[in-house]
Amino acid sequence: MRNEELKEVNCELGIRNEELGITSHSSSRILNSSFLIPNSSLTVAVERKAIKHTHLSVFPPDARIHVSAPLDLPDADIRSYLISKLPWLRKQIAAVLSQSRQTRREYVSGEDIYLLGKRCRLTVRKSAAAPAVCIKGQDIVLSGRGLESRVARAAKIDGWYREELRCVLTRILDRYAVIVGETDAISFEIRRMRNLWGACTSRTRRIRFNLALARVPRRCIEYVVVHELVHLSVPNHSLLFERKMDKFMPRWREARKELIEFIALPLE
């Protein structure tokens, strides 16, 4: 086994930024497969990439195991590496599965919901007026007619989240586009996304952001924005990418960790 090619990324819960769900279009990833680790019931998704070291990760919510490996690293070496990491993997899996997770929201009075990392209490008030959402102190008040079903309440809250997030993203993008040096026109959209925080297409200079970002602290949103802005010029997670992140957002690793651990997720 070539030990110089096997370098574990030992961050909290073994989660790297590319597994966090921030991605871009890139031609450096070319092969996906899976391995069953001998002497265990663990299956590992294997991704071949144009990288120098092997990165082993476990990420929520279901403790899925992922390994990114150099293009020329033999399968036998990957299997041997995974076997050697079984104790570490079991520890990380237990940590991921023990993470606090929010239950599905019903959007009824008394529930806690989050806005930009702040926990608020939801109050639902029925009236003859058109549905509206506003903030009153520590409460988020959803009021109006036609709010009998969960679907209707969720749709109104989602629409409000979308507008709040759009305002925040616009300000952050305007600031960091200058810092990163991406001064040509950039467009963005907000979507519901199951596994991604953000994604970009460098050819069209369009960035897509997850609606769930409306729930997380502003610093986490800044991290995702800077991540995607850097991807407009660097399509992978290479050393160059990390150097640019260090330059434009020196504490980005802290923000990434905070995003991973934020208990307001998943959206559903």
User: What CATH number is associated with residue 145?
Assistant: 3.30.2010.10
* Measured distance CA(260)–CA(264) in Å, rounded: 10
Does residue 154 belong to any structural domain of this protein?
A: yes
* Measured distance CA(73)–CA(46) in Å, rounded: 12
pLDDT tens track for 252-265: 999 998 888 775 44
What pLDDT sits at residue 216? 94
With bands split at pLDDT 50, 70 and 90, how would you rate the model's confidence at 59? confident
The torsion defined by the Cα of 19, 22, 27 and 30, in degrees rounded to 10, comes to 20
Does residue 235 belong to any structural domain of this protein?
A: yes
Does residue 76 belong to any structural domain of this protein?
A: yes
Q: Are residues 135 and 246 in the same domain?
A: yes
Q: Are residues 118 and 203 in the same domain?
A: yes
Q: Are residues 141 and 26 in the same domain?
A: no
Q: Please tell me the number of Cα atoms within 13 Å of 95 on its side-chain side.
A: 17
What is the average pLDDT across 83-102? Answer: 80
Does residue 267 belong to any structural domain of this protein?
A: no
Q: Are residues 225 and 190 in the same domain?
A: yes
Number of domains in the chain: 2
Does residue 103 belong to any structural domain of this protein?
A: no
Q: Are residues 128 and 80 in the same domain?
A: no
What pLDDT sits at residue 33? 76
Pick the residue with more confidence: 34 or 31? 34
Does residue 142 belong to any structural domain of this protein?
A: yes
pLDDT tens track for 110-121: 998 899 999 999
Write down which residue in 97, 125, 144 finishes a domain.
97
Q: Are residues 25 and 142 in the same domain?
A: no
Does residue 268 belong to any structural domain of this protein?
A: no
What pLDDT sits at residue 71? 87
Sign of the dihedral defined by the CA atoms of residues 212, 215, 216, 218, in that order:
positive
Query: Taking the model in full, what pTM does it have?
Result: 0.67
Q: Are strands 55-59 and 64-70 parallel, antiparallel or unpaired?
A: antiparallel
216 close to 210: Cβ distance less than 8 angstroms = no
With bands split at pLDDT 50, 70 and 90, how would you rate the model's confidence at 31? low
Quote the domain boundaries for residue 231.
Answer: 112-261
Write down which residue in 67, 97, 127 finishes a domain.
97
Q: Which residues contact 56 (CB under 8 A, 6 or more apart)?
A: 8, 9, 14, 65, 66, 67, 81, 82, 85, 88, 89
